[in-house]
Amino acid sequence: FVPRRGGTCESWEPADTAAVPFLPPNAGSWIPSLVPQDILCRGIVHGKSRAGKSGAVLDFTRQLSHFFVDHPEDAFGSLGQLLHKNFYLGNSKLRRPARESTIRMTALMEDIDRLEATRGCPRQRLSSRLRWFSHLCRDWLFEVPLGLLADCVHEELLLQWASLLFDDSPTGGALAWLPPEDTGARMGRLVYPRGQAMNHLCILPSEVSWGGKRSFVALALTGTPDFQDVVLEELPHTRGSPAQFELNGRIRQVAAARVDGEDIIGVRSDYHCGVWKVPARMGAAPTPLQVICTSVPASCLTVSPHLPGELAVCTQSGAVYLWSIETGLQQLRHDPQTMFFRDHSPWRWSDFTAHPRVLSCADRTGLQCLDSRAPERCHFDLFKVGEEAGCQQGERVVLPMYLGRAHPSQHLVTTQFSVYVMDERLPLVPVLKWAHMMKAPPIFAHLTPAGPGRSHKVLLGASRTQEMLLLQYRGEKQGGSQSACQLAGPPQKLHSITTCLQHLPTQLPHRHRLLQQRLGVPAAGLAAALQEDGLQESLLVFQLSEAGDVFCQRLTHRAAQAPAPTSGDEPAAAPGSSSLFEALARSPPGLGNKEEEEEEEEEQTFYFPAAALRYRRWLKALSRHCRVTPRQAWPPTLSQNRLFTRKELETPVGPRALHQQARQQLRQAMREGGRIQNWDAPAPQPPALPQPLQPVGRPDPLSARLTAAWSGDWGQWWEERTSFSVAQRQRALRERRRRQKRARGRRSLSASFTSSLTYQSELSELSDTAPLPCSPGRPAAVLPREASPAGGSPPASPAPEEPLLSSQSLRCRGIPKERRKTLRDYLAVWAEDPPEPPELPGSQLSQLCIPSSQSQLSSASQPRRKRPRMGF
Amino acid sequence: SSHEHKLNFKKSKEVCLSYIQDAMLHKQWKRAAEFLTFYIESLEKDYSREYMGPSEIIWRIGTEILCHHSQSSMKEFNSFIEQMKTLGVKRFLKVCLEHTFHLLCNGLIDEAYQNLSLAESWRYGEQTAIQDKEMKLIQAYRGLLDYYSWSKQKNILLEHGQDGFEDLSVEQEMHSCFRKATVNLKEITKIPGVWDQFVKCYVDLLEFYGDHNEARQVLNEYAYNSKFPANPNAHVYLYQFLKRHGESKKSLISALKILHDVAPSHELMIDFNTMLQKSKKRKKRRLGLEVIFAALDYAGWKENVKAWSCLARQVKQIVISEKHLDWIKVEWNSRKDWWPAFHFSRYLAKRNWQENESLSYEKALVAGILLGKDCKYFKYVSHQGCKAQVKRFRILKKFVNKRNPVYLRISG
């Protein structure tokens, strides 16, 4: 009985703690890819990207203006011809009859120039003439109808959004490793895209030196007792310069296969596919063979492992072609619909099978095999998203791959949830299924076949998250039963490019962010090379990012018999001991990780000098590239000569003498090279201090406290606040309620004798008193002084109670004589009750709906304590 | 705020899960186990309606960790699984089955058997279709274990039988095992699916007790019922069964014919070809040629000496007799545009010569007949062969040179 999972696997351990840059950083200004924020909230990002110069800018207006400038014939051609009579290009003034129907363009041009000059100035203002012109012509001058354009833009945005969610164009990966002819050799070739637009195909002979210079470093770290030897391998390096081919499109996919000792490389960009031939012998130059051009973007290009010069091409229109260098293209199928059920994705894929004339052909719903000799008649279903394979709802095929090098009739099918191994002879029922749990669908896969009795290694890679998984499975070649296929051991996660960020030397924050962005771009491909050197084997894994950087890491194979104390539980990467790990487990995860990182960092810089050197070199080269790029981000400049017209400069606006003096001072200062300290001459009226903000509500305790704290007597405030007991507060509340009730009762009465005079005085009182209790703008130190009647600001009117008490003032308010007495008595009662604010004006004020400022006083502790001192 | 709380909870759950996953993918089982203990809290408020809920995740992750953790023991594993069984009722049978597999992997067959019988007696609510299927599967595995103990006892008896020793109790036990196994295995073979293992055991049991009709019926059903997925193994089993029982050539050929249609690249095609070549009938010999050509189309057969010698023999026969050259012509017509590059390139000539001389001999013969004496493959191999003074290569060269007109007729 053998289970499908489990079993022993070969142990492949990373030799380094992180991926190491393999090539110098991709030259040319790197165009940052779109992020969701670019589409979702443009306004914010717009500002941010200006400032930080990072992220793609979807400045549609600018793009359109570029289009107008670059293709004026297309944009305005016919209308320009129609209207050319009505545009006058001369400099002189227009005569009357002509002025009716003609515009003088020179004036318009001047306005535009002026606009150009003030570009970026936040206060720029369109001249009325320009505004008028654009208002008039906007709808018809531009020949492409705006509605149509808007539709197109909308469509494009949708496309961009879809590709942000899941971009399937790099499916298959744009990195390929061409192994050396004999496995013992240390040379191989790497095929990768380069250049600003990733449109340079590079075929690089790279020497993978191995072994030879091995050094053993034993160290003892404090706190890690059972530390073991660290084996250092020399890193692979490149030799010679790559053969470069410039293509006119971004390279999406590089596919390679070896047939008859020659490597055939297929390169796919959106509208072109090309084939190169690379002789296996080192140093032989690659030769381009053929290029095809498609009208619809191609979605797949695979190279036949059986016959030289045969490739399979799929386009997004649903067509599948067999492309032979000798005989040309043969269409096998053209079906815009998906095979098994309806799916909107135009993605198609095709690969070869065990029979050289039979091609597998895939869309998101499954795989079918087609016989190219009779594509309509002979086909069978190989994989179907559905019940047979035990698929989940919404599961879709992401990448099929022919595993011919491991087993002639097996295929790998990845979906966003699982990985399947299918056998052609037993279609529809997967031989192996495993849920990979990757965060993004794996669109890259690489197979490293192994000899009999050993496990085949499959690398799965995701684009957006840069994840890489190493799977091992075993399937007997030419084996009898299907159950021989089993997954060997647990999967293993490999380092992604981003993880090396923590091993790079510390950077300035903005550089760090830039680096983070650069290293975090989606992956664009992966490749692996198996190196054998005597007993020791190692697997070199290359990863390509969309920015064009290639990183590599090495996994070394530990033979089963070798004593491997760390192979079980310890992370192979960080040779920390178990004690370190226990400590880790106890500490919170975030902290633990940091600790680990620090550990690794230390080790990195200490134990892997070659890697550290490489990091440093890479970084240096990157910063050299980056220094050139941010040139566009100049701060906006103002051209002076367009700021003022000559006329404006000629006539001084203010009094002559003043200007003369100012000019003199200016000249002097310029001569001395100093500054103008003060314009002491008839100082212009200092601008009135902005009025402190009127508090809308009552001052909240926090601001009161802050005010107090600012003035320094915070302690006193606190005392006051605490001493102001609950009982007092309750009483105050009760009192206020009573007062309000009273006020309500008196409203009808007071209405009878209100006069315009009272209104005014009350208003003036209000305006004076209101800012008193709490003026956040004013320094708080003023407050206590103001409380004493002697001090205070001169313009402030006397405190409200004083005039109220004198009969004269009462008379002034139009209060009849007989009532003055009661009023005074009433107020006297008030005076005995210190914490109670004078409420009489309030009673009348309440009609004016301003009890707010008064009631504020009642609750805020500070003014209330002051009142009695003030009034009585 | 409860919504916020829920959201935060969900977020931290996800973070925790990703930590576990990361640790597992780096083979840090201890660390993963630590995180799993935190993750168990997520069971508390399991609002998820996802495909895989936390309890299932815990089950799967926990099993995986316990399988690899250096300090885990079988006892711990069992207790964990018992807890998992109570955690999700709907998954009970699945967990049981996984548990059984784990026990079997560790050689604990009796415990596994017990576990299966326990699962079989389990009842919960109404049985759904999935549960029904899972139950069948459990029964089938129990049947498989019954078969295992049956064959063990059979071996004991056979060994002892040679000594002239008879043990009635062992024999009785064996028969009871047989009865149990057949009942269970019969059930599963009725459901469409790929049941290679079960079918093989079932047939073995039936054959031992001489119930050939039943066995044949089962195999026929398994191979020809259209409800079952197309499975070349079914035809292989049927063929092997027929061969064991000395069935007529005709029925053997018809069984293999279907296998040829299903999987033209199966290893049995060589047997099929030799069988057909020996046949008296022209039609069958022609089919033999078709079969071997079709088999050699596949990349997996590229270096199969046996297949090439079969083809070489038949082609040579035809050429010598000069009859039925049109057969070759028909076969060759559909292949002449790609076989030369696929099989007879100069590169392959070199490699085959270096790696496998007899393969290159057979291939060179075929190439010489099909492509004439100027073919690169033939030229290279015969040249090398003559240089190495190997006799058969010289004869080969002579033969092909003499028969060159045949090539013209084939290609013409």
Tens digit of each residue's pLDDT (9 = 90 or more) over B318-329:
888 878 888 888
Name the range with the highest mean pLDDT among A108-117, A364-373, A531-540: A364-373
Chain A residue at shortest CA distance from B71: A569
Band (pLDDT 50/70/90 cuts) for residue B163 is low
Token pair, residue B200, equals 């093989």
Cα distance between residue A570 and residue A97, in whole Å? 93
CA B409 vs. chain centroid, Å, equals 42
pLDDT exceeds cutoff 60 at A571 = no
> Any chain A CB within 8 A of the CB of B200?
no
Closest CA in chain A for residue B29: A569
Residue A693 has pLDDT above 60, yes or no: no
Closest to A569 (Cβ–Cβ): which among B29, B64, B104?
Answer: B29
Which range among A12-26, A754-768, B76-90, B208-222 has the greatest average pLDDT? Answer: B208-222
By C-alpha distance, the chain A residue nearest B20 is: A589
- Please, how many CA atoms are within 13 Å of residue B384, restricted to the half-sphere of its CB? 19
Q: How far is it, in rounded angstroms, from Cα A840 to Cα A824?
A: 10
Give the number of residues written for chain B: 412
* B contact residues 230-249, partner A, Cβ 8 Å cutoff: 230-233
Burial class (CB in 10 A: 0-12, 13-18, 19+), A645: exposed
Tell me the pLDDT band of A694, cut-offs 50, 70 and 90. Answer: very low
Residue A383 predicted with pLDDT over 70: yes
C-alpha to C-alpha distance for A28 and A199, rounded to whole angstroms: 12
Query: Any CB–CB contact under 8 A between B332 and chain A?
Result: no
Angle between helices B168-190 and B196-208 (to 10 degrees): 140
Res A722: pLDDT = 64
Q: Are A560 and A570 in contact (CB under 8 A)?
A: no
Q: Which residue has the higher pLDDT, A826 or A796?
A: A826
CB-based contact, B49 to chain A, within 8 Å: no
Residues A160-182: what's their mean pLDDT?
80
pLDDT at site A827: 60
State the Cα–Cα distance between residues A251 and A203, nearest whole angstrom: 13
**pLDDT for the residue numbered A801:** 43
Q: What is the pLDDT of residue A553?
A: 82
CA distance A573 to chain B (A): 8
Which DSSP letter does residue A34 get? P
Gap between the Cα atoms of A190 and A206, Å rounded: 7
Structure tokens, A488? 């060997």
List the structure tokens of A438.
Answer: 């990757």
> Is residue B392 within 8 Å of B382, Cβ to Cβ?
no
The residue of A353, A382, A569, A578 whose CB has the most chain B CBs within 10 angstroms, and thus the best one to mutate to test that interface, is A569
Tokens of A621: 């080269």
Tell if the CB–CB gap between B25 and A3 is shorter than 8 Å. no
Kindly provide the ipTM of the predicted complex, given to two decimals: 0.84
**What pLDDT is attached to residue A31?**
61
Q: What does the pLDDT read at residue A133?
A: 78
- Model confidence at A867: pLDDT above 50: no
The candidate with the shortest Cα–Cα distance to A256, out of A314, A192, A206, A208, is A192
More confident residue, B405 or A212: B405
Summarize pLDDT for B71-120 with one digit per residue, the tens.
Answer: 777 777 777 777 777 776 667 777 777 777 777 777 777 777 777 777 77
SS3 state of residue A332: strand
> Over pLDDT 90: what percentage of chain B?
0
Cβ–Cβ gap A355/B299 under 8 Å: yes
Pairwise CB contact (< 8 Å): A482 & B233: yes
pLDDT confidence bin for A229, thresholds 50/70/90: very low
pLDDT at A767 over 60: no
Q: Which residue has the higher pLDDT, A156 or A235?
A: A156
Q: Are A249 and A272 in contact (CB under 8 A)?
A: yes
Task: Answer yes or no: are the C-beta atoms of A254 and A230 closer than 8 Å.
Answer: no
Chain A residues with beta carbon closer than 8 angstroms to that of B266: 425
Strands A298-303, A310-315: parallel, antiparallel or unpaired by DSSP?
antiparallel
Say what the pLDDT of residue A302 is: 92
- Max CA-CA distance within chain A? 124
pLDDT at A218 > cutoff 60: no
Are A817 and A823 in contact by the 8 Å Cβ rule? The answer is no
What is the average pLDDT across A94-99?
Answer: 68
* Alpha helix segments (H runs only) across A645-781: 646-650, 656-672, 701-711, 714-723, 726-752, 756-769
Q: Where are the beta strands (DSSP E) in A125-271?
A: 176-178, 187-194, 200-207, 215-217, 230-232, 237-238, 243-246, 251-259, 262-269
User: Residue B48 — pLDDT band, cuts 50, 70, 90?
Assistant: low
Query: For residue B101, which residues of chain A lie inside 8 Å, CB to CB?
Result: 1, 3
Q: Which residues of A touch B265 (CB under 8 A)?
A: 354-355, 408-409, 425
**Of A356, A493, A581, which is closest to B338 when you measure between CB atoms?**
A356
More confidently predicted of A42 and A821: A821
pLDDT over 50 at A341, yes or no: yes
d(C-alpha B392, C-alpha B394), whole Å: 5
Please tell me which residue of chain B has the smallest CA distance to A565: B70
Burial class (CB in 10 A: 0-12, 13-18, 19+), A502: middle
Task: Specify the pLDDT at position A11.
Answer: 61
Alpha helix stretches (DSSP H) within A685-725: 701-711, 714-723
Cβ of B262 under 8 Å from any chain A Cβ? Answer: yes
Examine the pLDDT at A139 and tell me if it is beyond 60: yes
Query: Count of CB contacts below 8 A, A vs B?
Result: 118
Beta strands A215-217 and A230-232 are antiparallel
Mean pLDDT, all residues of chain B:
79
Pick the residue from chain A with its C-alpha nearest to B21.
Answer: A437
Task: Report CB contact under 8 Å: A493, B34.
Answer: no
Q: Which of A3, A354, A393 sits opposite B298 (nearest CB)?
A: A354
Render pLDDT for B327-385 as a digit per residue (tens, 0 to 9).
888 888 888 888 888 888 888 888 888 888 888 888 888 888 888 878 888 888 888 88
B27 with A6: Cβ contact below 8 A: no
Burial class of residue A610 in the structure, from the number of CB atoms within 10 Å of its CB (0-12 exposed, 13-18 middle, 19+ buried):
middle
Q: Does B67 touch chain A (CB under 8 A)?
A: yes
CB contact under 8 A, B25 and A491: yes
Cβ atoms of A804 and A810 closer than 8 Å: yes
* Nearest chain B Cα distance for residue A814, angstroms: 57
Of A121-130, A157-166, A328-337, A585-594, give the range with the top mean pLDDT: A328-337
Q: Which of B22, B299, B348 sits opposite A408 (nearest CB)?
A: B299
Place of tokens 């770290």: A221
Q: Which of A530-534, A612-616, A832-836 has the lowest mean pLDDT?
A: A832-836
> In chain A, what percentage of residues exceed pLDDT 90?
1
A606: confidence class by pLDDT, cuts 50, 70, 90: very low
Contact A314, A299 (CB under 8 A): yes
Identify the pLDDT of residue A564: 33
CB contact under 8 A, A388 and B229: yes
Helices marked H in A429-565: 509-519
Min Cα distance B33 → chain A (Å) is 9
- What's the whole-number average pLDDT of chain A? 66
Q: Which chain A residue's Cα is nearest to B32?
A: A585
Q: Which helix (H) or strand (E) holds A40?
A: helix A36-40
pLDDT surpasses 60 at B309: yes
Does the pLDDT value for residue A752 go beyond 70?
no
Cβ–Cβ gap A425/B262 under 8 Å: yes
Domain boundaries, chain B: 126-229, 322-411
- What single DSSP character describes residue B275? H
Interfacial B residues in 74-133 facing A (CB < 8 Å): 101, 104-105
In chain B, residues with a C-beta closer than 8 Å to the C-beta of A482 are 194, 196, 233
Alpha-carbon distance values, B410 to A709, B161, B290, B319, B382 (Å) = 108, 63, 16, 10, 21
Q: Is the pLDDT of residue A470 over 50?
A: yes
More confident residue, B397 or A17: B397
Q: Does the pLDDT at position A70 exceed 70? A: yes
Instruction: Give the span between the Cα atoms of A163 and A173, in whole angstroms.
Output: 16
